[in-house]
Chain A
Amino acid sequence: MKGELCNSPFLKPFFSMILIKSNGDDYSTTQVVKWLKHSNADFLRLNDTTFLKDLKVIGNAIEFAHDGNTISLGNVSKYWYRRGRWDTFSRRKLRNVNDKTFHGYLNYFSKEAERDITNTIENSLADRSLNQYQTSSNINKLAVLEACKTLNITTPKTLITNSKAVLKEFIITHTEIITKAVNNLDPNIKGDVFADLMTKKITLENIDILPDSFNVSLFQNLVAKEFEIRTFFLVDTFYSMAIFSQNDDKTKVDFRNYNMKSPNRCVPYQLPTSLETKLRALLEKFKLNSASLDIIYTTENEYSFLEINPIGQYDMVSKPCNYFLDEKIANYLTS
């Protein structure tokens, strides 16, 4: 079948091919792949369980083996980093290491090595990538907030602290505050009431039970919202959606706390050009040509920027707004 590389490489050399890095169970990748098949495009989908065999980096030429074929990155026409990591180090071998500390070391260094190799691979694809692992996987929230300041993008008041006293002062000034994960992967305050990836509101009582010093965490004042905006940026266009969640207490703080019975109203939205221009500059700064962004439209008629999520579920924007983003991504990859 086309695109699945089960044809003999001798009959059909791959002069040009789309390379996708994703997870095996990612729904959106599967949808984009359907569109690629629809237009008879050649592609290779690598999942995070796909180990790169016979990897060969000589100068600018990078090759690896896949399903009996030699894949040369020189033949890759477009690269889409969607999800997951590049598997260049066989972790299976690690499983045999019984010594826990030693295992930990090996694991750490293998990750480091893997990251360096990934960078090398991706750098060679830099001019034809839709996102990259190196830029997508480790968005530094604090750096984003810094950049917003210089670009004049309004954000909620932010505090980063590990001190109960400082936090207390902050809540007294702002009355309503929330906490967020500093890093997408690590819950902010392990083992506590608001150790959760979701955005959670914090009360004085929550703070009272904290130790004097805790894991460094991020806090923001809760901005009163008319509605939320989730926008998906693809290459040069913002596809935005307004989310009305105010009618429902369950979703007041973070609309990801879904209410299944009566889902939030999600409708197409057009951001003002001036804001789009600033956001474009922000994304450029972080070398992202695709990402989901969260914004709040406040009761004061202002836009308050919350965060960037490079690997966000754009489908939740695409479906309600009838944007057909899967097809648009496929079109970009085949262009």
Chain B
Amino acid sequence: MFSLNQDTNDKYLMLFASCLITKGHGRALLTDSQRGKFDLIPNDMINFMENAKLYSIKTLFKIYGVENKGIVESYVSYILENEYGFLANDKIRTNFPEIKIDWKNPSIITNSIIDIKDFEVTKAIYERTISQLNELQCEAVQIRSYISLSIEQLEYLANSVKLTCIEYLEIYVKDSDELPLNALIKLMHNHTKISNIIVHAADKNDEYDVIKSLSSIYHTTQVLTDETCCGLVEKQYFNAVKSHYMEAHFHNTCLNRKVSIDANGSIKNCPSMATSFGNIKETNLSEVIKNEEFTSIWNLKKDFVLVCQDCEFRYVCTDCRAYTEEPANLYSKPLKCGYDPYTNEWSDWEENPLKQKAIAHYELSNIKRTKTPETKNITHAQK
């Protein structure tokens, strides 16, 4: 536990600039955006950290008084022991500016989802899609196959991105005998752009790291039947890395600069959305992204979304716009979130009586979800 001494008396407690606090209704989140971690803290600590900017450690103890000595000690220890902050002397403390909350990206499209339900259908449009994504400087592509594919078919999918600016290819594929682990490893050795392969409907949950390509192969027992499986909001899917945290201040954390091709070739914000902006067979992606109707959702940030705007997780959370509590309300909270920022409690969203109407609306009622903490969120192509 921290205690005052000669050395620390006149120093100031400072947060590292990459450790950022988000105030929620009942508590706050300290996001370590450099290390991609986050931690819940009491809202009182926000005030304390503000005071810490103004007063030296010694003065802080004085201001908070003997009765709060224990709390001050625990706050200071907490910040220092977790390496969220440091002690700086008066001479240099003003040389540590705050990090600028800012997000920029040169790519017109940064990420894309391509859904597969019939390989031949996808094959007919795949190369066209990839070449158009390349022109838009897309960085990450996520392929979600609800059916099983052969190694040759996966090979084909990976080959087409080889000479493009697409740097990350994430593939979801249904398990089958044709996809033994060693064949997948070989595939990833040959295609270093594959960042992850997630084999769903497998008979076990596990993870295998492919060292050579710094990528992983996951097996999950969870079954992905179709696009309605997407959109889950759970703590394990939160993303605390800086780029996401920053992007969330300005844009929608799922749909910004995303363009998706559903299993039929329809161009959409995401495959779960009702609105199609034409079929990739005859429509150019570069045309679609000129359409404001398509891009306006990119700027629907968490601060605009009801309930979420009061939630401490809002900048690390993803924002599902395809499934919301009130389908007719543009600013409605994601349906598949079980968190209540007003009570700070998590519950099962599927059991929530208030959500039944929306669940019926999206015809989600017959989904059986097997909870597997190992499964990765399927909303974001991993970068």
Residues of chain A touching chain B, judged by Cβ–Cβ distance below 8 Å, are 1, 31, 34-35, 37-38, 242, 244, 247, 262-263, 265-272, 297, 301, 319-324, 326-327, 330
Binary interface profile of B, 103-128, with partner A (CB < 8 Å = 1, else 0)? 01011100000000000000000000
With a cutoff of 8 Å between Cβ atoms, the chain A residues found around residue B135 in the complex are: 1
Contact of B83 (CB < 8 Å), options: A247, A269, A272: A247
CA distance A268 to B34 in the complex (A): 12
With a cutoff of 8 Å between Cβ atoms, the chain B residues found around residue A266 in the complex are: 18, 34
B interface residues, tally (CB under 8 Å):
28
> Looking at the complex, which of B85-93, B143-151, B325-333 is the stretch in contact with chain A?
B85-93
Contact of B100 (CB < 8 Å), options: A244, A301, A322: A322
With a cutoff of 8 Å between Cβ atoms, the chain B residues found around residue A31 in the complex are: 106
A301/B34 contact (C-beta < 8 A), A268-B97, A322-B100 known: no
State whether B92 touches A297 (Cβ < 8 A).
yes
With a cutoff of 8 Å between Cβ atoms, the chain A residues found around residue B34 in the complex are: 263, 265-266, 320
Contact of A34 (CB < 8 Å), options: B35, B89, B91, B107: B107
Distance of B145 from chain A, by nearest CB (Å)? 29
B242 close to A (CB within 8 Å) = yes
State whether A320 touches B18 (Cβ < 8 A).
yes
State whether B106 touches A267 (Cβ < 8 A).
no
CA distance A320 to B17 in the complex (A): 9
Distance of B383 from chain A, by nearest CB (Å)? 13
With a cutoff of 8 Å between Cβ atoms, the chain A residues found around residue B91 in the complex are: 301
A35/B106 contact (C-beta < 8 A), A267-B16, A297-B92 known: yes
Contact of A271 (CB < 8 Å), options: B18, B35, B95, B108: B95
With a cutoff of 8 Å between Cβ atoms, the chain A residues found around residue B374 in the complex are: none
15 A-B residue contacts at CB 8 Å?
A: A34-B137, A34-B165, A37-B106, A242-B96, A247-B83, A262-B83, A263-B35, A267-B17, A268-B98, A270-B94, A272-B95, A297-B92, A319-B242, A322-B100, A322-B102
With a cutoff of 8 Å between Cβ atoms, the chain A residues found around residue B95 in the complex are: 269-272
B246 close to A (CB within 8 Å) = yes
With a cutoff of 8 Å between Cβ atoms, the chain A residues found around residue B99 in the complex are: 267-268, 321-322
CA distance A31 to B102 in the complex (A): 17
- From B103, which residue of chain A is reached at the shortest CB distance? A322
With a cutoff of 8 Å between Cβ atoms, the chain B residues found around residue A269 in the complex are: 95-97
Binary interface profile of B, 14-39, with partner A (CB < 8 Å = 1, else 0)? 00111000000000000000110000
CA distance A268 to B104 in the complex (A): 18
With a cutoff of 8 Å between Cβ atoms, the chain A residues found around residue B17 in the complex are: 267-268, 321
With a cutoff of 8 Å between Cβ atoms, the chain A residues found around residue B18 in the complex are: 265-267, 320
Interface centre among A37, A319, A321, A322 (most CB of B within 10 A): A322
Distance of A42 from chain B, by nearest CB (Å)? 16
Residues 42 to 63 of chain B near chain A (Cβ within 8 Å)? none
State whether A267 touches B137 (Cβ < 8 A).
no
With a cutoff of 8 Å between Cβ atoms, the chain B residues found around residue A319 in the complex are: 242
State whether A262 touches B35 (Cβ < 8 A).
yes
With a cutoff of 8 Å between Cβ atoms, the chain A residues found around residue B35 in the complex are: 262-263
With a cutoff of 8 Å between Cβ atoms, the chain B residues found around residue A242 in the complex are: 96
With a cutoff of 8 Å between Cβ atoms, the chain B residues found around residue A270 in the complex are: 94-97
State whether B107 touches A327 (Cβ < 8 A).
no
Contact of B106 (CB < 8 Å), options: A244, A320, A321, A327: A327
State whether B92 touches A327 (Cβ < 8 A).
no
State whether B92 touches A301 (Cβ < 8 A).
yes
**New A-B contacts (10) at CB < 8 Å, excluding given A262-B83, A265-B34, A326-B106:** A38-B107, A38-B137, A265-B18, A265-B86, A268-B100, A270-B96, A301-B89, A319-B242, A320-B18, A320-B242
State whether A34 touches B106 (Cβ < 8 A).
yes
CA distance A266 to B106 in the complex (A): 24
With a cutoff of 8 Å between Cβ atoms, the chain A residues found around residue B16 in the complex are: 244, 265, 267
A322/B242 contact (C-beta < 8 A), A247-B83, A263-B34, A266-B34 known: yes
With a cutoff of 8 Å between Cβ atoms, the chain B residues found around residue A262 in the complex are: 35, 83
With a cutoff of 8 Å between Cβ atoms, the chain B residues found around residue A320 in the complex are: 18, 34, 242
Binary interface profile of B, 246-258, with partner A (CB < 8 Å = 1, else 0)? 1000000000000
A327/B104 contact (C-beta < 8 A), A270-B95, A322-B246 known: yes
